[in-house]
Structure 1
């Protein structure tokens, strides 16, 4: 899944902080989601897959007229549409669509969805505070065996 053309295309899209790609963010979220789900006895495979695909919107927002707030609501649906080619199950769909909760109106139906939503917020915060680069998280995740199996 990591080598899929759509997933690799996220490398060209910037994310929360300068120098962080959407791909790096999603791998980070996938790994943190996997670890949290495993520790909680949840479906860590679905959490890792949902974490990897949660921002698969493949859109350069600077080239659209979609406002910042609207992006927060729209991008999970765009990501789900793009991720459907990976043979998602209902749990993975819920993870992707609800990862922006509480901004999304519907409450996540599964504990794994809450885990990925939390991981997304933790990772975004680490990226914006420049902890991601300082701790060389990207280099460490390049060798993380859990990400390869997602």
Structure 2
């Protein structure tokens, strides 16, 4: 089984987001081994200071074997099938582990984005960071089901 890492700022506080993440992480773990790592939210301060502090904490957890995929609103927008194809390629690289990095309430610092191999967007709409984490886990699970030919994704099916 291949391995996927997620590296996120903050602990999940919202009950439904925490439960949703646990649900999709558990389902995903049947197809890929998953390791979730969290770093603490920075203490109250200016937005810039918080982003920089959180960025330093994130970078301290990025290892040399990580293929760093930063989740950022300015990133590339891929279809689910394109994401599944890229995920398949990433997990097949023997010396690399895809590491999905998700920032806190104010996003990722420039320093974190600079180490990214890929910067990816979950879409053009703004999402709270806890909901973004839930969407990321759902999309990872959806991509995994595509890659493993499991029923879940219904691309191209329309009711008429």
What is the TM-score normalised by the length of structure 1? 0.32
Q: Does 1 or 2 have the higher relative contact order (CA < 8 Å, sep 6+)?
A: 2
Higher CA-based Rg: 2
Higher relative helix content: 1
